[in-house]
Structure 1
Amino acid sequence: MYSLYYAPGAASLVVHWLLIELGAPHELRLVDTQAKQHKSAQYLALNPNGVVPTLIDDDGKPLYEAAALVLHLADRHAQSGLAPALDDARRGEYLQWVLNLANTLQSPLRLWWYPQDIEEAQADTIKDGARRRIEATWDRLDAHLAAHGPYLLGERVSAADFYLTMLMRWTRNMPRPGHEWPHLAALAQRMKARPSFKTLYEREGLTEWA
């Protein structure tokens, strides 16, 4: 059984969602980020970055980094079809998309939410730069879906689409959220229609962007 250290709506959301989608037995361990539990010595011993998610695998070893956990779970549960096999022609493209999302969306999104991590005095400038990078990425992704969709790998849904949907959710209160791009909006609606998404929201107590 897996154990997932999570905080509602945080980067752990995609890992929790995949565990539900995959039907993988798991338990949830809430990390109270408001109380700074993610910075406690006990938690840092599991994840020295002091962020969620952390996933305890069957062997008891803690694993972290949301993108890595997406790849790990989809490969570990290959019967789900959420990751192309090693000899599948689309394997490289799939890996490319997961890492692209981590670098071109999750990274600047963190800067938009926490510009003070770089320089508090320049927070507005940092946020503006991050917003422009995010919107440029939405432009590219929407164009890709228009030409090659409806999912990132075409007709086939993959774990990368779960990751993308979580990142779209994070922009819901930005000046121009990801779901304002038409093909991204269509993907989000398809992903949110999955029964696992409803279960995820119920378990995490979420209501926004349902």
Structure 2
Amino acid sequence: MIPHWLLLEIGLPVEMVKLDLASREHKRPEYLALNPAGTVPTLVVGDQVITESAAILLWLVEQAPGQWLAPAMGTAQRAQFLQHVVHLANTLQPAFRRWFYPEEAAGAAAAAANKQHAERDIALEWERWNGLLAERPYLLGTDISAADFYLCVLMRWSRNMPRPATDWPHLARFAATLKARPSFALLYQREELTDWT
């Protein structure tokens, strides 16, 4: 969802191929030939294959006209932007994986405890991001960046948790701002989604 949303924001033409994850289309040989890890998303640009949401996000930032999705290279704000993207990819997103699939790392016997720890870690993350957004509309201040879209999509992942991200007031305001963008409505239409609108 993150790359798709950014592609809509940038306006780059793209051919989308929907995979049925329930039937494990992402584990079939033709997909594994593109992405041996069998994960989604995968972006194919000519002969180049780019995997991992954060990597695709960073590549798309470089393709954006006027580079508006990230601060200029070499600036202090660019370093802050990169820090946010890496933190989301390495801390919050893996915590969700532990919450959605608690038996993967811990085994069936420890799945409940693993899920509980992941839920606690995700709540601590919401505290962190809520505090960061307390006095600013976006993660970098007054300018929106690709990191904002990333955070918003991860917030959506919490929609069915006992305490979703929108329970935190600054995160709720932030999500409402991003969901008001025309690209969000188009994303939901193309992804055929109806929840979290």
What is the TM-score normalised by the length of structure 1?
0.91
Residue pairs, 1:16-165, within 5 angstroms: 16-57=4-45, 59-118=46-105, 119-147=107-135, 149-165=136-152
Shift, 1:164, TM fit: 0.3
How many pairs were matched up?
A: 196
Structure 2 gaps of 5+ residues are: none
Structure 1 gaps of 5+ residues are: 1-12
CA contact (8 A) 2:42 2:52 kept: yes
Structure 2 letter corresponding to 1:114: Y
Could you tell which deviates more after superposition, 79-88 or 100-109? Answer: 79-88
Shift, 1:181, TM fit: 0.5
CA contact (8 A) 1:22 1:80 kept: no
Could you tell which deviates more after superposition, 155-164 or 116-125? Answer: 116-125
Please state whether the residue corresponding to 1:28 is helix, strand or coil.
coil
Shift, 1:88, TM fit: 2.7
Please state whether the residue corresponding to 2:152 is helix, strand or coil.
helix
Paired with 1:197 and 1:182, the residues of 2 have a C-alpha distance of 21
Structure 1 letter corresponding to 2:22: Q
- Name the % identity: 49
Shift, 1:123, TM fit: 1.0
Moved beyond 3 Å, runs of 4+? none
- Which residue number in structure 2 is paired with residue 180 of structure 1? 167
Please state whether the residue corresponding to 2:159 is helix, strand or coil.
coil
Could you tell which deviates more after superposition, 128-137 or 86-95? Answer: 86-95
1:86-120 superposed Cα distances (whole Å, 9 cap, x missing partner) = 13330000000001111221011011001121212
Paired with 2:103 and 2:11, the residues of 1 have a C-alpha distance of 39
CA contact (8 A) 2:102 2:111 kept: yes
Shift, 1:85, TM fit: 1.4
CA contact (8 A) 2:10 2:65 kept: no
Please state whether the residue corresponding to 1:47 is helix, strand or coil.
coil
